[in-house]
């Protein structure tokens, strides 16, 4: 599908940053922990507004700020903060906004550690409900007077099902509930939740935005008012600030995000289509190949390289030997990099958890990287022939 020309300009544009010459096409890195001021009055004024001034890198840093500006523009949001990891972004949104007694509704297959965090927060009087699918009636039923957040993932983790974003944000607005979307999978190039009424977008920049499997970072995009609250109540105090160099690497990753996403998209659709016809495959979970086409056309501009498929024979020994037979696909966690990866949520010891979560036991997840698609298909062909 198509990438917005404006987004290509945002990704590839050179930005000069505060205090640096205007001619450096790649941003110089402000590799510094603190900033000095000519007068004590100027320092004091900076400290009065650490959200908007570079005083100390745990709060704000111009190299990080350059990345934040780009991500806010790409998501069509007002403001962005970049964090030391995706989970730092996730936890800061919740800790920055939720009060004791508040309730959160998680919708669709949500990233595992996000739900783990929710479970831990019950210790502090924050409760939650988890709805594995996206049915509006189920969400409506889960809402309470004290519901503060609806947390969405679309496509969801592992099964990549879409939820109807606009109908959910409409319901949330009626009930005065803030919506959050983890948009790591689609990236802002292929989905812009804020334009569909979502209040807050979070990202793991570790995945496609960085794109080279050489950094860990996260981001939150929201209105300036909401982000400032998250900044003072969580970001600055949790101390999960990203280092300037990792922010710089992420900005460098953005330069090639459009071309990488096009390659991830076409490669994954080819591999998924191949697998769908394979006699050993029961089902492919890919939004463009087997998903809800009308939702996809309505709310997405493209699809990414991460999807899963289910083996007919879900025996753990078969999963293990299939994964071990792969040569081009490497075995590893994470996704969104140049390298193709394979993993199964079934580790042989967690069958009960998978069944409770509605995850098929024969599931294998693939992250299609930047390699030649024929090499990837050949690799799967020989692994599935065993
Ligand atoms: C990886 C991931 C995260 C967490 O990001 P980290 O950078 O690993 O902390 C959050 N959400 C989704 C969907 C992810 O895949």
Q: Which of 4, 52, 56, 58 is catalytic?
A: 58
pLDDT digits (tens, 9 = 90+) for 170-181: 999 999 999 999
pLDDT digits (tens, 9 = 90+) for 299-343: 999 999 999 999 999 999 999 999 999 999 999 999 999 999 999
Mean pLDDT rounded to a whole number for the chain: 96
Pocket of ligand 1 (CB under 6 A): 85-87, 111, 157, 182, 184, 204, 206-207, 216, 218
Q: Which of 182, 199, 246, 379 is catalytic?
A: 182
Q: For this structure, is 207 an active site residue? A: yes
In the chain, what percentage of residues exceed pLDDT 90? Answer: 93
Phi, psi for residue 214 in degrees, rounded to 5:
-130, 15
* Whether the predicted pLDDT of 203 surpasses 70: yes
- Pocket-testing residue among 114, 115, 183, 204, ligand 1, by greatest number of atoms within 8 A of Cβ: 204
Q: What is the pTM of this model?
A: 0.96
CB 88 within 8 A of CB 218: yes
Return the residue matching tokens 């906004």: 97
Mean pLDDT, residues 285-297? 95
Cα 155 to averaged position of ligand 1 atoms, centre (Å): 14
Q: For this structure, is 58 an active site residue? A: yes
DSSP H/E element including 92: helix 86-97
Provide the b/e sequence for 244-254 (b: ≥16 CB within 10 Å).
bebbbbbbbbb
Q: For this structure, is 81 an active site residue? A: no
Cα 91 to averaged position of ligand 1 atoms, centre (Å): 11
- Judged by DSSP in three states, 172 sits in helix
- Pocket-testing residue among 84, 115, 184, 203, ligand 1, by greatest number of atoms within 8 A of Cβ: 184
Mean pLDDT, residues 132-153? 96
* Whether the predicted pLDDT of 16 surpasses 60: no
CB 265 within 8 A of CB 238: no
Q: How confident is the model at residue 26 (pLDDT cuts 50, 70, 90)?
A: confident
Which token pair is 139? 């969400």
CB 150 within 8 A of CB 103: no
Cα 251 to averaged position of ligand 1 atoms, centre (Å): 18
* Whether the predicted pLDDT of 18 surpasses 60: no
- Pocket-testing residue among 89, 108, 111, 118, ligand 1, by greatest number of atoms within 8 A of Cβ: 111
What is the structure's pLDDT at 28? 86
CB 217 within 8 A of CB 82: yes
Q: Which of 60, 81, 207, 365 is catalytic?
A: 207
Length of the chain: 386
CB 199 within 8 A of CB 180: yes
- Ligand 1: which atom is nearest the Cα of residue 336? 15
Residue nearest to atom 6 of ligand 1 (CA): 86
- Ligand 1: which atom is nearest the Cα of residue 90? 10
Strand order in the sheet with 79-83: 79-83, 218-222, 200-204, 178-182, 147-153, 103-107, 127-131
DSSP states along 239-303: T-BPPHHHHHHHHHHHHTHHHHHHHHHHHHHHHHHHHHT-TTEEEEE-TTTTS-HHHHHHH-S--
CB 236 within 8 A of CB 205: no
Q: How far apart are CA 9 and CA 74, in angstroms?
A: 10
- Judged by DSSP in three states, 22 sits in coil
pLDDT digits (tens, 9 = 90+) for 60-104: 999 999 999 999 999 999 999 999 999 999 999 999 999 999 999
- Ligand 1: which atom is nearest the Cα of residue 205? 7
Q: How far apart are CA 163 and CA 228, in angstroms?
A: 29
Strand order in the sheet with 330-331: 281-285, 306-311, 363-367, 341-343, 330-331
Cα 210 to averaged position of ligand 1 atoms, centre (Å): 12
Sign of CA dihedral 194, 197, 200, 204: negative
Which token pair is 155? 């496509």
Cα 42 to averaged position of ligand 1 atoms, centre (Å): 38
What is the structure's pLDDT at 22? 62
- Pocket-testing residue among 207, 333, 345, ligand 1, by greatest number of atoms within 8 A of Cβ: 207
Return the residue matching tokens 């570790």: 206
pLDDT digits (tens, 9 = 90+) for 220-264: 999 999 999 999 999 999 999 999 999 999 999 999 999 999 999
What is the structure's pLDDT at 169? 98
Q: For this structure, is 274 an active site residue? A: no
- Ligand 1: which atom is nearest the Cα of residue 157? 13
* Whether the predicted pLDDT of 164 surpasses 70: yes
* Whether the predicted pLDDT of 19 surpasses 60: no
Strand-pair partners of 103:
127, 147
Residue nearest to atom 1 of ligand 1 (CA): 204
CB 165 within 8 A of CB 49: no
């Amino acid at each position: 599908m198509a990438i917005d020309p404006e987004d290509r300009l945002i990704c590839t544009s050179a930005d000069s940053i505060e205090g640096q010459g205007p001619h450096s096409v790649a941003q110089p890195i402000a590799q510094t922990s603190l900033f000095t001021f000519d007068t004590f009055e100027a320092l004091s004024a900076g400290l009065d507004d650490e959200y908007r001034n570079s005083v100390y890198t745990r709060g704000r840093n111009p190299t990080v700020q350059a990345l934040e500006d780009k991500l806010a523009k790409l998501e069509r949001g007002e403001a962005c903060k970049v964090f030391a990891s995706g989970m730092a972004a996730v936890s800061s949104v919740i800790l920055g906004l939720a009060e004791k007694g508040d309730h959160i509704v998680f919708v669709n297959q949500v990233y595992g550690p996000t739900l783990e965090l929710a479970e831990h927060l019950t210790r502090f009087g924050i409760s939650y409900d988890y709805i594995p699918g996206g049915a509006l009636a189920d969400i409506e039923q889960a809402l309470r007077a004290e519901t503060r957040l609806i947390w969405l993932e679309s496509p969801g983790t592992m099964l990549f099902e879409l939820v109807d974003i606009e109908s959910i944000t409409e319901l949330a607005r009626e009930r005065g509930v803030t919506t959050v979307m983890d948009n790591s999978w689609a990236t802002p190039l292929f989905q812009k939740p804020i334009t569909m009424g979502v209040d807050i977008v979070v990202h793991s920049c570790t995945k496609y935005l960085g794109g080279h499997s050489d950094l860990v970072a996260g981001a939150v995009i929201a209105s300036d008012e909401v982000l400032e609250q998250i900044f003072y109540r969580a970001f600055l105090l949790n101390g999960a600030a990203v280092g300037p160099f990792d922010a710089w690497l992420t900005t460098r990753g953005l330069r090639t995000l459009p071309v990488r996403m096009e390659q991830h998209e076409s490669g994954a659709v080819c591999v998924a289509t191949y697998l769908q016809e394979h006699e050993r495959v029961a089902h492919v979970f890919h939004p463009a190949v087997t998903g809800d086409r009308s939702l996809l056309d309505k709310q997405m501009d493209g699809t990414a390289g991460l999807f899963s498929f289910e083996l007919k024979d879900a025996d753990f020994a078969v999963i293990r030997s299939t994964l071990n037979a792969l040569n081009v696909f490497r075995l590893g966690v994470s996704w969104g990099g140049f390298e193709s990866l394979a993993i199964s949520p079934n580790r042989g010891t967690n069958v009960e958890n998978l069944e409770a979560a509605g995850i098929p036991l024969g599931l294998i997840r693939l992250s299609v990287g930047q390699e030649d698609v024929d090499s990837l298909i050949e690799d799967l062909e020989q692994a599935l022939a065993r």
